[in-house]
Structure 1
Amino acid sequence: MLVIYERVLPVILLAEDNEDDVFFFNRSLNRIGVTNPVQVVYNGEDALAYLKGTGIYADRTKYPLPSLCVFDIKMPRLTGLEVLQRLREDPAFNDLAVIVWSTSTYSKEQELANQLGAKAYLVKPTVPGELDATFQSIIQQWLPE
């Protein structure tokens, strides 16, 4: 009997309320050859529920725990920084790699993201192609193989 094991790639969780940014995120990953599954949530409350495995996200076969999270700063219900803060209050999520991305270049937000334990703070580029190199670096550094 031959048994073939399928390698399961680590999941990326994208918390982003802008459909255009979700499109550009996925397109960029595709262009740089990242085939990891991406789960998308559209507000901070859903990001927190997904990560804690509550409500509709309780089925971990359908909603596996991600290895990398990318949070938009300005989302409805809870901001990306609020989600990050709540995660860091729970020791179970201390090692979870979280990247914060925003259109804001405001240094106070960047400082707060770093203080809360974000692995990086990315400013969303105005030219979609610029995203490829940025994500290539982030993926290589923070997404396990």
Structure 2
Amino acid sequence: MDDFKPISALMVEDNIDHAELMIDAFNDFNIKNTIAHVIDGEQAIAYLRNAAPYEDKSKFTRPDIVFLDIRMPRQGGIETLKIMKADDDLCSIPVVMISTSKTEPEIKECYRLGASGYITKPLKFDDFSKKMKELNYYWVLTSELPK
């Protein structure tokens, strides 16, 4: 697995347990991957724009991909996706929406707004871990990410 190109990601997830599972799966796939974690959409936009408290561009680098939870306090994922896709500097970053919901209107809305993918969080730990590894395989091995 050392031959896989490392990617950097931003995980936007308010549930710390879910975030840790996703981060572990991401790092298990390729230890050279880097992943930053914020807990809501407002923090995500600040991070992506290098606004306070994320001004240090050497520490808070632009991610290759964003994993964005839909239901979060303060600013949810759909609103964050709208902001990202309306911003010329952020719109090219692929965004994978993550939710416990499988409702068709929500899925359609995310794709209409420019999401690159939509995955549901399985309830069982093993299923969740497997899905995260499959997600990594796709984004690291199959997909070409913008620089």
TM-score w.r.t. length of structure 2: 0.84
Which amino acid counterpart does residue 129 of structure 1 have in structure 2?
S
User: 5+ residue gaps in structure 1?
Assistant: 1-7
Distance 1:95 1:30 in 2: 24
Distance 2:80 2:109 in 1: 13
Is it true that 1:24 corresponds to 2:40 in the alignment? no
Greater radius of gyration (CA): 1
Count of aligned positions: 138
Q: Is the 8 A contact 1:41 1:47 kept in 2?
A: yes
Which amino acid counterpart does residue 137 of structure 1 have in structure 2?
Y
Is it true that 1:130 corresponds to 2:127 in the alignment? no
**What is the match of residue 5 of structure 1?**
none
Which amino acid counterpart does residue 102 of structure 1 have in structure 2?
S
For the aligned residue pairs, the C-alpha RMSD in angstroms reads 2.0
User: 5+ residue gaps in structure 2?
Assistant: none
Which amino acid counterpart does residue 112 of structure 1 have in structure 2?
E
TM-score w.r.t. length of structure 1: 0.86
Is it true that 1:100 corresponds to 2:97 in the alignment? yes
How far 1:142 moved relative to its partner?
Answer: 5.3
**What is the match of residue 70 of structure 1?**
67
How far 1:89 moved relative to its partner?
Answer: 1.1
SS in 2 for 1:56: coil
